[in-house]
């Protein structure tokens, strides 16, 4: 692993954690070459995966089941889809929902009838059912009320749906949860991660969504045909690709980054390593420059189509659009005609652009450099067990050193100010839905989840107060078991510099959407549309090739639409 993260020697270093690990910056991340969706599609194409649909048993009301199989060089995986007739009054994206428009499982192999029947008895119940280690993922999705009917109607009448309306929403269905890793009886990650195709992060979940996308498109075409068999048409391929899969994410996902610090560290470290390598490039080739410029234009155009009504996000998008104008101007003025142009451009951006703009630029800088960047994808998994064990032999003097080096940011927070402890994270009795409450207003803070990292580190520092430097951590923890959780985090920081979000997660102004966006950007999501400070809608795979198109398309050139609306073609692009 150490070799894979090698960087060139010299004055250009990785950005330090105190710059990168601020919640506001993490909340401004964009998808990149390292995103998990893109890692997946590169692999599916490289290994020439085949895609079949062995079962399509959906009636004219859109109710029934379907199976989509992805066949790889060694193994097959099947998305099993159940399509339901959902009472609109029950449609909800909340964890507390009990029924959905469609429910899914990813089956390890190709299921027979008996397996399909077993799944049919359980999958539609989601958390209330059980799946087995033959299932790798469990998911569900709801229709876009705005767009689904419009598309069915248009197709049934023989014409393509309205592009404006498609772009406004971007998807036909929206997943509201995609579970993996042993949830509800599904296979543990340990059982599958030695398989090369699943060793990367969230590959099962990304594959599930990729196939769900195909299902949603097949479903609208099917319903259009059912409605008007003589006039219905299929979607044109170029229009078909405009649909992604939406996703509605709330607080359920927010604690993830805090509870998986080694994983977070590895994701950020990979990205920062990639950025450093690119910044070190002295003389980009003409091709590399051209690829970069092309992506700048395409991303700019995409940003112009990015919509959010959210009061905080809308101005950020506007600012990003202005940042693009500045960036384009900078390029036009000759920013690339010098040594180390990427480094210069980045440093200019740091002084000039918004956080959205800076992180957008970081992602764009990686685009021409698959050869420098893509292999870093192999470093983005983690075994949290690696850094779990407390080092009891460590003396408190050394612990204090770590705090001084890695947690200085905690001292900047005044916890005597109530605003800095205003929130608390908890799990509701109601279907175990994670929530955030107002500490001094609502009941429940004694049941607070251990997510108040800064405050807990602060308490640890207070407890260490008068203890001797020579005392061992083991002895300290025996007397102070309440600080074990915090000590574990502190000791972990030594070898995982990007493990900790360096912000107060219980402060009044903390925005959970920043946590959500960070993780979702690593997934490869785009079109972030916060619905509140703790709920966000995104799009996945928008403009990507369909599974059956992978062989004849560029697998990794879809994140931003082409400026001339050209079809994807097989070219030798970096």
Nearer to another protein, 33 or 534 (CB): 534
Give 68: exposed, middle or buried? Use CB within 10 Å, 0-12, 13-18, 19+.
Answer: buried
In the complex with another protein, the residue whose CB is nearer, 91 or 319, is: 91
Cβ contacts of 246 within 8 Å, gap of 6 or more:
144, 169, 170, 171, 173, 174, 175, 537, 538, 539, 540
- The nearer residue to another protein, 95 or 365, going by C-beta atoms, is 95
For every residue of 113-166, which 3-state class applies, written as one string? Answer: HHHHHHHHHHHHHHHHCCCCCCEEEEEEEEECCCCHHHHHHHHHCCCCCCHHHH
* Closer residue to another protein (CB): 247 or 358: 247
Angle of the 453-464 helix axis to the 484-493 helix axis, nearest 10: 100
Task: Provide the token pair at 491.
Answer: 């000791």
Pick 53 or 143: Cβ nearer another protein: 143
Q: Which is nearer to another protein, 390 or 573 (CB)?
A: 390
Give whichever of 64 and 170 is closer to another protein, judged by the CB atom: 170
**CB-based burial of residue 20 (10 Å sphere; 0-12 exposed, 13-18 middle, 19+ buried)?**
buried
Token pair of 286 as six digits = 């003409």
CB closer to another protein out of 354 and 428: 428
| DSSP character at residue 28 | T
564: left (phi over 0), alpha (psi -120 to 50) or beta: alpha
Residue 315 Cβ, how far from another protein at the closest point, in Å? Answer: 20
Angle at 413 between CA 410 and CA 416, to 5 degrees: 125
With a CB cutoff of 8 Å and minimum separation 6, the contacts of 68 are 51, 52, 53, 78, 79, 81, 211, 214, 215, 547
The tokens for 476 are 């300290």
**CB 395 to another protein: min, Å:** 11
Cβ 483 to another protein shortest distance, Å: 7
CB of 250 to another protein, least distance (A): 5
- CA 381 to CA 43: how far, in whole Å? 16
Instruction: Supply the minimum distance, in Å, between the C-beta of residue 12 and another protein.
Output: 36
Q: Which is nearer to another protein, 248 or 504 (CB)?
A: 248
Q: How far is the CB of 191 from another protein (least distance, A)?
A: 7
Q: Cβ of residue 535: shortest distance to another protein, in angstroms?
A: 4
């Amino acid at each position: 692993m150490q070799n894979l993260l090698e960087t060139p020697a010299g004055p250009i270093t990785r950005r330090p954690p105190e710059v990168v690990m601020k919640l506001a910056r993490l909340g401004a991340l964009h998808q990149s070459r390292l995103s998990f969706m893109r890692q997946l599609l590169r692999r599916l194409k490289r290994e020439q995966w085949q895609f079949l649909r062995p079962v399509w048993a959906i009636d004219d009301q859109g109710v029934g089941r379907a199976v989509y199989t992805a066949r790889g060089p060694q193994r097959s995986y099947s998305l099993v889809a159940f399509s339901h007739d959902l009472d609109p009054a029950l449609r909800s994206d909340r964890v507390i929902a009990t029924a959905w428009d469609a429910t899914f499982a990813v089956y390890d192999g190709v299921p027979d009838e008996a397996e399909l029947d077993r799944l049919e008895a359980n999958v539609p119940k989601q958390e209330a059912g059980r799946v087995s280690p033959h299932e790798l993922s469990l998911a569900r999705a709801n229709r876009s009320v705005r767009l689904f009917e419009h598309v069915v109607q248009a197709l049934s009448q023989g014409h393509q749906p309205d592009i404006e309306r498609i772009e406004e929403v971007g998807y036909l269905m929206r997943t509201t949860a995609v579970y993996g890793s042993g949830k509800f009886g599904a296979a543990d990650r340990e059982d599958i991660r030695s398989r090369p195709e699943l060793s990367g992060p969230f590959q099962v979940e990304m594959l599930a969504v990729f196939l769900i996308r195909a299902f949603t498109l097949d479903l609208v075409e099917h319903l259009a045909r059912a409605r008007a068999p003589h006039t219905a048409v299929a979607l044109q391929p170029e229009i078909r690709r405009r649909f992604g899969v939406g996703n509605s994410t709330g607080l359920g996902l927010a604690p993830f980054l805090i509870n998986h610090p080694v994983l977070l560290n590895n994701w950020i470290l990979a990205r920062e390593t990639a950025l450093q390598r690119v910044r070190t490039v002295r003389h980009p080739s003409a091709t590399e420059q051209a690829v970069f410029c092309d992506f700048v234009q395409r991303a700019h155009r995409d940003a112009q189509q990015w919509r959010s009504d959210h009061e905080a996000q809308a101005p950020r998008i506007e600012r990003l659009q202005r940042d693009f104008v500045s960036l384009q101007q900078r390029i036009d003025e000759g920013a690339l005609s010098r040594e180390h142009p990427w480094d210069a451009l980045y440093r200019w951006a740091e002084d000039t652009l918004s956080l959205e703009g800076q992180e957008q630029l970081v992602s764009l800088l990686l685009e021409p450099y698959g050869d420098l960047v893509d292999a870093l994808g192999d470093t983005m998994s983690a075994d949290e067990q690696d850094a779990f064990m407390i080092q009891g032999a460590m003396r408190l003097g050394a612990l204090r050193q770590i705090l001084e080096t890695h947690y200085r940011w905690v001292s900047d927070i005044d916890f005597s100010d109530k605003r800095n402890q205003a929130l608390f994270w908890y799990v509701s009795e109601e279907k175990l839905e994670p929530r955030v409450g107002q500490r001094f207003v609502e009941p429940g803070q004694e049941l607070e989840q251990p997510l108040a990292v800064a405050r807990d580190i602060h308490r640890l520092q207070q407890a260490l107060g008068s203890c001797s430097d020579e005392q061992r951590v083991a002895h300290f923890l025996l007397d102070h078991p309440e600080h074990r959780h915090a000590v574990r985090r502190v000791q972990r920081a030594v070898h995982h510099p990007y493990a900790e979000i360096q912000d107060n997660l219980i402060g009044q102004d903390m925005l959970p959407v920043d946590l959500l966006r960070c993780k979702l950007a690593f997934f490869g999501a785009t079109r972030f549309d916060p619905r509140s400070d703790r709920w966000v809608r995104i799009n996945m795979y928008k403009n990507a090739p369909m599974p059956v198109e992978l062989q004849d398309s560029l697998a990794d050139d879809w994140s931003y639409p082409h400026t001339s609306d050209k079809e994807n073609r097989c070219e030798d692009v970096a």
